[in-house]
Structure 1
Amino acid sequence: MESVKLFGTWFSPYSRRVEMALKLKGVEYEYIEEDLKNKSPDLLKYNPVHKKVPLLIHNGKPISESLLILEYIDETWPGPAILPSDPYERSMARFWAKFLDEKCPPAMTRACMRTGEEQEKAYEEAIEVLTFLENELIGKKFFGGDTIGLVDITANLIAHWHRFFEEFSEIMQPPLITKEKFPNICEWVNDYTNCSFVQENLPEKDKLAQLYKARIQAAKAATQ
């Protein structure tokens, strides 16, 4: 019998993207919630290098790092494709997924949390990053075209998580993502978050809002 386990945390966009991919493929799996302040022996055993989530265990074999897990899921199980079949399109999907992971979280977080000149610079960097994504969506419903793919799943941080970070930062004005500045991204957010398998794997809004509010307040207190 096939065994699929996913170690994750409820609030992590990286864990949730793996769950979305598994749900998209119709894969049955056991979810194991991790306490990152008190990591389980199994997590440390199966991911000794990074010691973090998400971690997928398939028939006793561990796969770590969310983007690698997404590709593994796509290659292992039948169902809707996560990556395009065309070699060039696959390479472009990998490019934009890596771009999202490397550029978006740092720039958008700094824009929310920094102050003064440092915040202004971070805000400009975040706008530049989002402009690239806005242009990539021209003429498309999803980054993958007419269907959700690797880049869409990778971009879930923008679709759901960022709104709470931005709301409670109380620093950044004006907001980063608006219909006036980024109409394509806003339309994509609406289409993406209204997909049933995506909705099933988004954290509860109130619970996530409370977590972000507490984290941002703690971060501010530490700098005072």
Structure 2
Amino acid sequence: VPSLEHNGKIIGESLDLIKYVDCNFEGPSLVPNDPDKKRTLEELLSYTDKFVEMLFASFKGDPEKEAGAAFNYLEDALKKYDDGPFLLGRDFSLFRGAKVPAYLLHSPLYDMDELKFFEADIAYIPFVERFQIFLSEVFKYDIIAGRPKLAAWIEELNKIDAYKQTKIVDPKQLVEYYKQRFM
């Protein structure tokens, strides 16, 4: 969970953190200038907890129905902008010189030469990756079947070196851990 301590204040929620950094540090904004994309970013970040809850709940119910609803939400969100495969389209990325919170400077998600940081995408992809592995292995549920935007999104994120460094190294270990912990 990202957090930031600044001037004696600790901020831990992603949306609050983004807003705080935008208000308290110089540089390009971490949120889109486009009001519609800004609103979409806030909606997406506000939905992450519910998204994860639905996925964990699917382990004890009907994964196709319950997890399917969560992945359909992402598929629909990915259809909103047609200028790229990311949740806010291709236009919204940050490059060198952008505001970067201190916690991110030492993260594999930050690349000094080119920072491709899509806040909404980064909020979702670790969960999508892990649940894709688990649901496929345990329930034989293919989360991208019938979801072409989700498939393209995952494929595009897998091309980003900074993201590749954060991927699960041993899928079997993840599956065993989730089985023991959540089933």
Q: Which residue identity is paired with 1:152?
A: D
What's the offset of the Cα at 1:123? Answer: 4.3
Identical positions, percent: 22
**Corresponding residue of 1:37:** none
**Corresponding residue of 2:56:** 109
| Aligned pair partner of 1:73 in 14, 21, 24 | 21
Taking only aligned residues, the RMSD between alpha carbons, in angstroms, comes to 3.0
> SS of the residue aligned with 2:5?
strand
| C-alpha distance in 1 between matches for 2:60 and 2:147 | 22
**Structure 1 residues 197 and 129 mapped into 2: Cα distance closer, same or farther (>3 Å)?**
same
Q: Which residue identity is paired with 2:177?
A: A
**Corresponding residue of 1:84:** 32
**Corresponding residue of 2:106:** none
**Corresponding residue of 1:162:** 131
What's the offset of the Cα at 1:94? Answer: 0.8
**Structure 1 residues 109 and 55 mapped into 2: Cα distance closer, same or farther (>3 Å)?**
same
| C-alpha distance in 1 between matches for 2:39 and 2:150 | 22
What's the offset of the Cα at 1:135? Answer: 2.3
| C-alpha distance in 2 between matches for 1:120 and 1:94 | 27
**Corresponding residue of 2:77:** 133
| C-alpha distance in 1 between matches for 2:174 and 2:126 | 15
**Per-residue CA distance 1:116-152 (angstroms, 9 max, x = gap):** xx44542453354244234235442322222343322
Question: Does the Cα contact within 8 Å between 1:133 and 1:185 map onto a contact in 2?
Answer: no
**Corresponding residue of 2:160:** 195
**Corresponding residue of 1:153:** 122
What's the offset of the Cα at 1:83? Answer: 0.9
Q: Which residue identity is paired with 1:92?
A: T
> SS of the residue aligned with 2:88?
coil
| Aligned pair partner of 1:175 in 142, 165, 172 | 142
Unaligned runs of 5+ in 1: 1-14, 16-53
| C-alpha distance in 1 between matches for 2:21 and 2:162 | 16
| C-alpha distance in 2 between matches for 1:94 and 1:156 | 17
**Structure 1 residues 205 and 137 mapped into 2: Cα distance closer, same or farther (>3 Å)?**
farther
| C-alpha distance in 1 between matches for 2:60 and 2:38 | 36
| C-alpha distance in 2 between matches for 1:61 and 1:195 | 33
Superposition pairs of residues 7-86 of structure 1, within 5 angstroms: 15=1, 54-78=2-26, 81-86=29-34
> SS of the residue aligned with 1:205?
coil
> SS of the residue aligned with 1:107?
helix
Question: Does the Cα contact within 8 Å between 2:130 and 2:168 map onto a contact in 1?
Answer: no
Q: Which residue identity is paired with 1:93?
A: L
| C-alpha distance in 1 between matches for 2:67 and 2:6 | 41
**Which has the larger strand fraction?**
1
Question: Does the Cα contact within 8 Å between 1:141 and 1:188 map onto a contact in 2?
Answer: yes
> SS of the residue aligned with 1:155?
helix
The runs of at least 4 consecutive aligned structure 1 residues that moved more than 6 Å come to none
What's the offset of the Cα at 1:161? Answer: 2.6
**Corresponding residue of 1:213:** 176
What's the offset of the Cα at 1:211? Answer: 3.9
